[in-house]
Structure 1
Amino acid sequence: MWTRLPSSALRLTGADRVDFAQGQMTGDLRGAPTPGVVACCFLNVRGQIEFFARAYKRQGDVYLHLDAGQAPALAARLRRYIIFDQVELEDLSAELRTVHVWGGQGVPGWDPAGGDAQSVELAGGTVLAGRVNRAGEPGVDLHYLTRQEPEVLAALGGEETGLAQLDAARVRAGIPDVVRDGFTGTLLPEVGLDVGGLLPAISYRKGCYVGQEIMARLEARGNARYHLARLAGEGLPDHAEVTREGRAVGQAGLHAAGLSLARLRKELAQGEAVEVGGVPATVQLLTPIPSANA
């Protein structure tokens, strides 16, 4: 079972590619193995999320996998910070496609006991594969050349599953999607991307990056007023304001299968009644994952 992912992509090359990316992103790329994959965000100076990406560290490049349409804006941002760095950026969005294989089943050459990033031979070519949890259990993202798509999909076989079903599974599992849930402009701890969330995308020990000072304050004080929760209700509008007794208490993401993920104020209790764009809903709290700060 596999799902096509709307995607865009950047490739960083040059001698300074890893150090340059390290100074821009929240994840610890330098500390990752080669090959390896790191979930990360790119923040503004106020610590708010501008982009979410998965960064693949490879022998000769860094590959950034992003949601559809994100690559040109991230490339423009990164170029503003290139001064003396030996780094080149290339937008590969038109050349590459991505599918997610649920559970990683049926991927020829994939080693379930191997690293999180692997190269596999598929349909007569080399395909980049990454272990990614998109539906509540680890699956495999496959990144391949657009011209390879018919052969790659034929080699996978199985059943194509629509993006709506993948969204329903990830919302049930409590896994946020920054773009699809409309969480751009929020803080990482507010939307499940902190070290205790289901999609950790930050290291507090990696050194400086844009927005790092704000994140360090949040870690030290532990005073984020919002966190990620689920809302249950039928017909909830996407990306709508969440209110309780007429007061704004958060924002909802994408609605799927009777549920939405939401950035909610922490004082809201399990089972509490709220409204999403005027539609009744019930709060479902998510259980944090115990984790030492990375």
Structure 2
Amino acid sequence: MNYAQLLFPDFSLILCGFLVCRFTSLNRTVWQQVDALVYFFLFPVLLFQSISKTTLDLRAASSLIGAGWALGLVGIALAYALPFVPLLGRHIDRRQHAASAQVAFRFNSFIGLALADKLAGPEGLLLIAVLIGVCVPLFNMAAVWPMARHAERGFWHELLRNPLVLGTAAGLLANVLGLHLPHWAEPTVNRVGAAALALGLMAAGAGMQLGALSRGKALGLAVLAIRHFIMPLVAWALAQLFGLNALQTTILLAFSALPTASTAYVLAARMGYDGAYVAGLVTLSTLLGMASLSFALGVLRLLPL
């Protein structure tokens, strides 16, 4: 499978945003307003629609769900622990870490859905949709907590007013209650979702300053190593521990090796952190996704269970 071809649309949108911001009159003043539109309206609608219409067969996929949660908790724990690692911790700025920890465990669900469809068709789509539905709330809360804590804003106050978390919670509630949008509204909401993805990636590119990555080389290397090397290894071990079948193992490995979420930049920027640095990490993660997906699906998947 050509992972470069799969990831190219996301990377090209990031590059497009970077070039438009740097070489046209659509400068950062314009893109700051785009950030607000994406964060407060487009992404919450997208999350609500994606989760509310996902078929969550929790009983049939209980082992996969357990492995997915365990994988997420390991990633979160590793990301949170970085400032306390001997030698490494002294080179990590705590505020920068608060904004960047999310890069280590969050994932790009749209690439995940496209990949699962190519790997296993409708059955693969169902399995990764279940993973996305149950993991997004956990990962979003874990992304907000260190930023709220470092900024000394109440965690629950920050969580309850975070539009990404609210969109996720509303989508899960609608899913559990069996509520659906009327058919006449779905085309509009689907277009909002498409706009969220495109503008979110372009905004990440517009906010990117490649030089910003030099401000935290050790931190950037650590979170990307967790995201693209350690997480696939942990997923392979968990697949054996939870007794997953071949298809479930493939989906979990793909899930573990995805590039980080493009919303990581939006969340960091809107909460007052170094958005340019996180945007740089999102871009590098998109590129590294080609290597980690090849490693997870081309090497680890072939190892005997």
TM-score (norm 2): 0.25
If you compute each CA radius of gyration, which structure gives the higher value, 1 or 2? 1
Q: Determine which structure has the larger strand proportion and give its number.
A: 1
> Higher helix proportion, which one?
2
